Amino acid sequence: MLTVERLEVRYGGIHAIKGVSLSIARGQIATMLGANGAGKTTTLRTISGLVKASRGTIRFEDVELTNRPPHEIVALGVGQAPEGRMIFANLTVKENLEMGAYLRKNRAEIQNDLDFVFSIFPRLRERIKQPGGTLSGGEQQMLAIGRALMTRPRLLLLDEPSLGIAPILVKTIFEKIQEINRELGMTILLVVETGELMIEGKASEIAKNEGVRKAYLGET
Amino acid sequence: MSELLQQIINGISLGSIYALIALGYTMVYGVLRFINFPHGDAFMVGAFVGYYAAPRIVPLVGGSLLIAGPITLLLSMLVCSALGVTIEKLAYRPLRPRPKLTILITAIGISLFLEFGGQLVFGPDPKSFPTLLPSAVIINTPNLVLRSTPVIVIATTVGLMLLLRFIVMKTKLGTAMRAVSYNQSAASLMGINIDTVISFTFVLGSSLAAAAGILYGSLYPSINPLMGVFPGLKAFISAVLGGIGNIPGAAIGGFIIGLIETFVTGYLSPTYRDAIAFGILILILLFKPSGILGRAESEKV
């Protein structure tokens, strides 16, 4: 579904990514692991078009994404909940979610998806009229994921959904991610941080890794 | 007492002009984080569109100001929107990835271009603005003379502000504008085309400046190509006073500056009018740079 080949990114003089390749099959939850500064976030930002690739290609369902503007990439079916959540603090929860549906016209479908977001994150429904900036870290993460879901992506990129949120919520968030994958059949590319390595592989294999289970899947 | 009332009405009508211009400064600052200096000149162009269009429109509608006024206003808003969008596309968009200072210098260049290009095209001499608003005397006492012109100016301003509020708070494009002003990357991840939103912001800002030009011409019927310089600066001060980037702040700031100026002129001396306005700017920048309604914002590194 998504194929990234020998992607390279340079910011000014810095070589931020030196030849990343990855591929994800439809319906998968793929996870990208790696140390801080390994280029995971830059990879996701490049896939979404926020950063220009200096070399390499990104293909999504036979469409070349490389260096297209971000709004076109969203229209093609790639959504992202970015690192740091980037909630619109000045917009209400409802408006944040509506912005996710910016490109969509079908009101009934939008309402359906809104209901789905509220069903997996009931907390958001309670806070519907509050400005995004008043939410807790965990709630903002739910909103960031919900907002990305509202773009109705076929591929959802999630950048460090567990960063900076209460440990008790981490487990919930990861359960919800699995639920989204199961219920909507949505393909998901997840980025999480580890000490030193960067793994690309099947979720089922990575999930067997004890360290990963402890650190990210909320198991003890 | 009635003299005070007179001053308040004058202050609010002058403040209306500042507020309308200030809204454009603050909205463009909101999405692009720089001061669009030619904005005061868009106000001038708006007045000149009225100057040339009104004498042609009035006879067309049988001399009815009630119809000619709104048509002239709309036409001027349309022309200035086109001007604003063109300036943004040609001059600012290619420079967006560059340091902010580059755009700022370009903005000053365009401002000078419009001012002196205006002298070339319209002529440097002051022109007398045609009567577009009925100036019937509504109240006439020995101390208070209230004409309909300032009342219409204030009412039009309030109407435009309510319309703006509706657009910004309730429509999809308005919400997208707020989203873009908060975080461009996040907004583009929602599928929002940033360029479209920026153009839309220029449409809103420039059309309000045009409306201010028409209203100003009706209040003070002498216009010239440099007329935008001082109201532009005062409106900029208003936007800073209200909190740059904050839409209600710009409106409030405009009314405050308009009132202060009128009071200084009326009770102190017209000589101090501009000095006090700039004094206010210095004081805000020294003691509360975020303005009345603005949030303190740290520079992103």
A59-62: long-range pairs with CB below 8 Å, 24+: A59/A2, A59/A3, A59/A4, A59/A5, A60/A1, A60/A2, A60/A3, A60/A155, A61/A1, A61/A154
Main-chain dihedrals φ then ψ at residue A68, nearest 5 degrees: -80, 155
Give me the residue from B181, B185, B190 closest to A99, CB to CB. B190
B168, pLDDT greater than 70? yes
DSSP state letter for A92? B
From chain A, pick out residues whose CB is under 8 angstroms from the CB of B175. 91, 95, 98-99
Provide the phi-psi class of B241: left if phi over 0, else alpha when psi is between -120 and 50, else beta.
Answer: alpha
Which residues partner with A156 through β-bridges?
Answer: A79, A188
Q: Given pLDDT bands bounded at 50, 70 and 90, which one contains residue B299?
A: very low
Residue of B nearest to A104 (CA): B191
- Taking a C-beta distance cutoff of 8 angstroms, is the pair A104, B184 a contact? no
Q: Which of B190, B192, B301 to mutate to test the interface with A (most CBs of A within 10 A)?
A: B190
Structural domain harbouring B221: 2-133+146-287
Q: What is the pLDDT of residue A198?
A: 42
Count: domains in chain B: 1
Q: What is the pLDDT of residue A214?
A: 61
Tell me whether residues A102 and B191 touch, CB distance under 8 A: yes
Q: What is the mean pLDDT of residues A160-172?
A: 84
Tell me whether residues A90 and B190 touch, CB distance under 8 A: no
The answer to whether position B95 is within a domain reads yes
Residue listed under structure tokens 């532009």: B232
Residue of A nearest to B194 (CA): A71
The answer to whether position B97 is within a domain reads yes
Half-sphere exposure for B267 (CA within 13 Å, toward CB): 12
Tell me whether residues B190 and A87 touch, CB distance under 8 A: no
Q: How far is B179 from chain A (nearest CA, A)?
A: 6
From chain A, pick out residues whose CB is under 8 angstroms from the CB of B183. 86, 88
Residue listed under structure tokens 């583009």: B188
The answer to whether position B138 is within a domain reads no
Q: How far is A98 from chain B (nearest CA, A)?
A: 8
The rounded distance, in Å, linking the Cα atoms of A41 and A86 is 14
Strand duo A187-193 + A29-34: pairing: parallel
Q: Given pLDDT bands bounded at 50, 70 and 90, which one contains residue A15?
A: confident
What does the pLDDT look like over A60-87, one tens digit per residue?
Answer: 999 999 999 999 999 999 999 999 999 9
From chain A, pick out residues whose CB is under 8 angstroms from the CB of B193. 69, 71
From chain B, pick out residues whose CB is under 8 angstroms from the CB of A141. none
The rounded distance, in Å, linking the Cα atoms of B301 and B292 is 25
Q: How far is B160 from chain A (nearest CA, A)?
A: 23
Q: How far is B16 from chain A (nearest CA, A)?
A: 27
From chain A, pick out residues whose CB is under 8 angstroms from the CB of B194. 71
Q: Given pLDDT bands bounded at 50, 70 and 90, which one contains residue A36?
A: confident
Of A50, A139, A131, the C-alpha closest to B178 is A131
Q: Given pLDDT bands bounded at 50, 70 and 90, which one contains residue B93?
A: very high
Which residues partner with A201 through β-bridges?
Answer: A31
A14, pLDDT greater than 90? no
Tell me whether residues B172 and A95 touch, CB distance under 8 A: no
Q: How far is A217 from chain B (nearest CA, A)?
A: 27
The answer to whether position B157 is within a domain reads yes
Tell me whether residues B189 and A74 touch, CB distance under 8 A: yes
Q: Given pLDDT bands bounded at 50, 70 and 90, which one contains residue B178?
A: very high
ipTM over 0.95: no
From chain B, pick out residues whose CB is under 8 angstroms from the CB of A71. 188, 191-194
The answer to whether position B293 is within a domain reads no
SS3 A103: coil
Q: What is the pLDDT of residue B300?
A: 41
pLDDT top residue among B122 and B3: B122
Q: How much is the mean pLDDT over chain A?
A: 88
Residue listed under structure tokens 């960031």: A144
SS3 A193: strand
The answer to whether position B301 is within a domain reads no
From chain B, pick out residues whose CB is under 8 angstroms from the CB of A78. none
Q: How far is B86 from chain A (nearest CA, A)?
A: 22
Q: How many helices (H) and strands (E) does chain A have?
A: 9, 9
- Taking a C-beta distance cutoff of 8 angstroms, is the pair A79, A103 a contact? no
Give me the residue from B176, B179, B189 closest to A80, CB to CB. B189
Domains of chain A: 2-216 (3.40.50.300)
What DSSP letter does each residue of B160-192 carry, written as one string?
HHHHHHHHHHHSHHHHHHHHHHH-HHHHHHTT-
From chain A, pick out residues whose CB is under 8 angstroms from the CB of B181. 90
The answer to whether position B299 is within a domain reads no
Tell me whether residues A99 and B194 touch, CB distance under 8 A: no
Residue A14: CB atoms within 10 A of its CB come to: 9
From chain A, pick out residues whose CB is under 8 angstroms from the CB of B297. none
What DSSP letter does each residue of B68-90 carry, written as one string?
HHHHHHHHHHHHHHHHHHHHIII
Q: How far is B154 from chain A (nearest CA, A)?
A: 29
The rounded distance, in Å, linking the Cα atoms of B55 and A148 is 54
CATH number of the domain enclosing B279: 1.10.3470
Q: How far is A88 from chain B (nearest CA, A)?
A: 6
What does the pLDDT look like over B210-260, one tens digit per residue?
Answer: 999 999 999 999 999 999 999 999 999 999 999 999 999 999 999 999 999
Q: Given pLDDT bands bounded at 50, 70 and 90, which one contains residue B188?
A: very high
The rounded distance, in Å, linking the Cα atoms of B208 and A28 is 51
Q: What is the mean pLDDT of residues A51-63?
A: 94
What does the pLDDT look like over A186-216, one tens digit per residue?
Answer: 999 999 876 444 445 566 666 666 666 665 6
Q: What is the pLDDT of residue A34?
A: 78
B-side interface with A, Cβ within 8 Å?
172, 175-176, 178-179, 181-183, 185-194
